[in-house]
Amino acid sequence: MTDAGFRVAVVIVTHNSADVLAGALASVADGTRGVRLVEVVVADNVSRDDTVAVAQREHGIPVRVLRMPHNAGYAAAINAAVASWQESDVDGYLVLNPDARLTPGSVAVLAAALREPGRGIVVPRLLNPDGSLQPSLRRPPTVVRALAEAVIGGNRAGRLGALGELITDETAYHRPCAAAWATGAAMLISTEAQRGIGPWDESFLLYGEETEFALRAGDRGWRLWYEPAAVVEHEGGESGVNPVLWALLTVNRVRLFTRRRGPVAGAAYYLAVLLGEAVRALAGRVTARAAVVALARPSRRLRALPG
Q: What amino acid is encoded at 123 in this protein?
A: V
If you average pLDDT over every residue of the chain, what do you get? 93
- Structure-model confidence comparison of residues 84 and 157, the more confident one: 84
Longest Cα–Cα distance in the chain: 55
Per-residue pLDDT tens over the stretch 154-193 = 778 877 778 889 999 899 999 999 999 999 999 999 999 9
Per-residue pLDDT tens over the stretch 110-130 = 999 999 999 999 999 999 999
Per-residue pLDDT tens over the stretch 210-262 = 999 999 999 999 999 999 999 999 997 665 678 888 998 899 999 999 999 99
> pTM to 2 decimals?
0.93
CA angle at 102 for the pair 99 and 106, rounded to the nearest 5°: 150
Residue pair 21/51 in contact by the 8 Å Cβ criterion? yes
On the CB side of 99, how many CA atoms lie within 13 Å of its CA?
13
pLDDT of residue 154: 76
pLDDT of residue 1: 63
* The pLDDT of residue 146 is above 80: yes
Q: 180 — phi, psi (to 5°)? A: -70, -45
**What top-level class would CATH report for the domain 7-139+180-236?**
alpha beta
Kind and range of the H or E run holding 36: strand 36-44
The rounded percent of the chain whose pLDDT value lies above 70 is 95
